[in-house]
Amino acid sequence: ALTLDGVVRAFLAGHRVAALDAPELGAGDDPVSDWGQRLPATLRAAGVSGAVHLVGWSFGATLALAAAQAHPARVASVTAVCPAAWPGGAPPLRDLAALMARVREAVARETAGEPALRSLFAANTARAWDQCRALTRFDAAAAARRVDRPLLVVAGDVDGVVTPRDAGALAACAR
């Protein structure tokens, strides 16, 4: 959530914002979908009723898709910013090391000159591995096809992990 502080402040002008950090993932067959099942309880705990607009960045975009798929009545729309969500699932597990290398390179580039941010990301390497493993089990294209709410996919050419082509392929899956 540290890198989204400016975005959250911008939203606060006219919206109630609940910023959630990426969860610890279980060891189930599909931990992303399992997390998506938690949306109603999470919203109740935050005192939120009715449908919400989910905005997720990177892995958070994948979680937003999973939540919208699991509980469409609680979701008004999904905005996926640089979604770590690939049609057909993430690169196969055998390519997990290559995916993590892309993540490390992107983090190094994005945190250059910001040692506090760099150490924060370094301290979360195990968590990043868990998230990448979880991505290999979640088919984002199938989720996008099942979500019957507006889906906006936002991506740029400076993201070192998810290319605009990847994001475009995901957007093409939306209803």
Backbone phi and psi for residue 79, each to the nearest 5 degrees, phi listed first: -115, 120
Q: How many CB atoms lie within 10 A of CB 46?
A: 12
Please tell me the pTM assigned to this model: 0.73
- Which token pair is 141? 């294209």
User: Which residue type occupies 164?
Assistant: P
pLDDT digits (tens, 9 = 90+) for 59-100: 888 889 989 999 999 999 999 988 877 666 555 444 666 767
Q: How far apart are CA 118 and CA 116, in angstroms?
A: 5
pLDDT digits (tens, 9 = 90+) for 25-65: 555 556 777 778 888 888 888 888 889 999 888 888 888 99
- Per DSSP, the three-state class of 88 is coil
Q: How far apart are CA 27 and CA 21, in angstroms?
A: 19
Of the candidates 148, 154, 175, 151, the one whose C-alpha atom is nearest the C-alpha of residue 166 is: 154
Determine which helix (DSSP H) or strand (DSSP E) holds 168, and give its type and residue range.
Answer: helix 164-173
Question: Are 66 and 143 a contacting pair, CB within 8 Å?
Answer: yes
